Structure 1
Amino acid sequence: MKRENLITIVQIMVVPTLYAVALRLFFGGNTWGNLFSVMSMSFLFCVPTIMGLLTVYLSDIENVRHFSYRFFVPWIPVVILLIITIAFTIEGWACWLMILPLFLIAASVGGLIGGQLKMRKHDSKLYISFLALLPLLVAPLEVVAGSISGTYEAYTFIDIKAPAEKIWGNVTRVRGISAAQDKGWLTRVLGFPRPVKAELNYNGVGAYRKAIFTNGLVFHETVSEYADKQKMVFSIKAYPYEIPSTTMDEHVVIGGQYFDVLNGTYELERLNSTTNRLHLYSHFKLKTTFNFYASWWARWIMQDIQNNILQVEKYRSENE
């Protein structure tokens, strides 16, 4: 390999990666308060876009002429950034899994922009310099605009061939769930705590229900509406100070700055003489500047948790 080609390869991998690492450390610091935040569109979209732009703009013009190069090669620095931030515990695996699709799409967009600038006949270094500063310029404006607070619903249900009395007993009080009974594939991949058990002190309005998960996560629930073997509505509260820092990434901690679960509802519907349908709703709150994206993941996570619980309640009602 020619020395010039080797220098170009190193350049298009190192420069975008160092740029992203520097901004990740800057946006993740506490020096500027809330002016610069990793949980912002200015970081989550602008930074990978500039990474892709730099990767393609610094590449050889013959490579840049190919669309596949402009679209896919910007993914390489993103993967390198992923490896570095996880290796040095700058970022967690769960966060990366959720933001990776956004990073890859933004990097490809940046690669296409960089390709257009590269193929222009006149020098574009001034444009590149300005665009590289874009995250720092946009972030304060995003803070002024403010985060969007939104409430969302996660809905799941399951059909159970068992008497209502038996189902309801497994709903109000969930005995210990072993690891083998845990079917929550998404939460397992993300490394989220898994459910262990749920305790209710009595059946009725005002009752206290404690839903216990692994790694110190506890949902404190208060029953606000109760109809025996028909419906139970309860508020949900998780206190971040009770959750060990190693349990969840700070950006997705339940009850934290960005994500909180508000309430849940169980409803038991009779379908026929042998089958009942168990509905489970929950409402959660997000407060970010990119709720349109974060709400997809939050809903998938909540539905995975709920489906996991419903599967346990179905098995126990039908087989025990």
Structure 2
Amino acid sequence: MTDETRQPSASATPPPLPPHLSAPQAPPPRSDRSLEVLAHLSPVLGGALIGLLLRLAFNGKPGSALATMLWIFILLAPFAIGAVTVYLAERVRPRSNTYHIFAPMLSVVLCMLGSMWFALEGMICVIMVMPIFAVFGTMGGVTMGLICRRAGKSKTPTVYSVVALPLVLAALGVGQEQPQRFEYVERSALIQASPQAVWALLLDADRIRSAEVDRAWMYRIGVPTPLAGLTHQTPTGLVREVRMGKGIHFKQMSSDWSPQRYVRWQYKFDEDSVPAGALDDHVRIGGDYFDLRDTVYTLTPRGDATELKIRMEYRVSTGFNWYTVPLAGWLIGDFSDTILEFYRHRAEAAASA
């Protein structure tokens, strides 16, 4: 055997090292990771941006063609957000059904946060509209996902049509209706106190602490809690001065009452009753979309106790009353339970003292 066959060639490739002895792979540069994260989030950010642009477009006053509380915005804007989110994602690579469902929800949340950041909406409106935005955003995402799978990814005209649809309908005068719905809520509570004691509290409730009433959901989502409600009698009837947080104040007027039996309050708001920024315009009492018509308290003796009943009548005027009327009824019913508990606790505490 020759020396040439016994000695390895200098140009031969050395055998690979075992995996545990291999040099560790260098992590990707931080800039690359940032670009990768941005690529994952870009469809979500794109959908949220479309929602903000539509919100800026539908920023008109109540009754105008581009008012915010029109169904063509409330229903079609989140649908467009979901459609754009999934379209942008599908152009990169196919996504799962789970992505089509939940990515539009994230876009909707970012859009809502952006509308609050730019002072387009307050927290109360955002919380109240979030469920319907999430549902229709998901519907838009799932619909666009089906279109992309069946007809291919290049569906730019479809996306343009979805985004432009609410604006086109507004220009044509579609969806401008705001039908009025008049509803009421009734609740009752048995209070271990005399009708005289309960009646006195109905007329004068002072130094109301937030902890006494803040379990009501309308206060949890941002409506300021009441501070006091004090009554005086005038030649035309009873007048109850109500003060709430953030400088809100209004009057409850009554020309129909019977001492220790019942009182019917109607609401009177002055121009300065609700300071700017204290409440969202879309949920302001006495506004174009919502109003409390009157509140009736009825006292019925039950032995040594008193049954206190409350009946609150309200108006809702939107193009999607099928959503807002039950929502308003739930909030007002929850408030009614809370205010009855407030009177019960105070009256029974006074009676025991």
Q: Shared fold (TM-score greater than 0.5)?
A: yes
Whole-angstrom CA distance in 2 between matches of 1:219 and 1:252: 16
Percent of pairs with identical residues:
24
Instruction: Report which stretch shifted further, 301-310 or 156-165.
Output: 301-310
Q: Does 1:168 align with 2:195?
A: no
Code of the aligned partner of 1:292? W
What residue number does 2:250 align with?
A: 219
Instruction: Report which stretch shifted further, 146-155 or 211-220.
Output: 211-220
Q: Does 1:132 align with 2:163?
A: yes
What residue number does 2:84 align with?
A: 54
1:41 to 40, 53, 71: 71
Whole-angstrom CA distance in 2 between matches of 1:240 and 1:303: 27
1:187–1:7: structure 2 CA closer, same or farther, 3 Å change rule?
A: closer
2:131 to 101, 121, 127: 101
Whole-angstrom CA distance in 2 between matches of 1:306 and 1:144: 33
What residue number does 2:26 align with?
A: none
What residue number does 1:148 align with?
A: 179
Q: Does 1:267 align with 2:312?
A: no
Q: How does 1:55-134 map to 2 (within 5 A)?
A: 55-60=85-90, 64=94, 66-122=96-152, 123-134=154-165
For normalisation by structure 2, the TM-score amounts to 0.81
Contact 1:78 1:103 in 2 (8 A): yes
Code of the aligned partner of 2:319? T
For normalisation by structure 1, the TM-score amounts to 0.89
Code of the aligned partner of 2:186? Y
Whole-angstrom CA distance in 2 between matches of 1:302 and 1:65: 42
Contact 1:231 1:265 in 2 (8 A): yes
Code of the aligned partner of 1:137? V
What residue number does 1:250 align with?
A: 281
Higher Rg = 2
Q: Does 1:316 align with 2:346?
A: yes
1:286–1:230: structure 2 CA closer, same or farther, 3 Å change rule?
A: same
Would you say how many aligned residue pairs link Structure 1 and Structure 2?
318
What residue number does 1:191 align with?
A: 222
SS of the equivalent of 2:89 reads coil
Whole-angstrom CA distance in 2 between matches of 1:22 and 1:84: 11
SS of the equivalent of 2:313 reads strand
Provide the aligned C-alpha RMSD in A. 2.7
Unaligned runs of 5+ in 1: none
SS of the equivalent of 1:25 reads helix
Whole-angstrom CA distance in 1 between matches of 2:235 and 2:192: 25
Code of the aligned partner of 1:70? H
Listed one character per residue, the Cα deviations across residues 150-187 of structure 1 (whole Å, up to 9, x for unaligned) are 21212222111111211111112222212232334312
Unaligned runs of 5+ in 2: 1-31
Whole-angstrom CA distance in 2 between matches of 1:227 and 1:204: 16
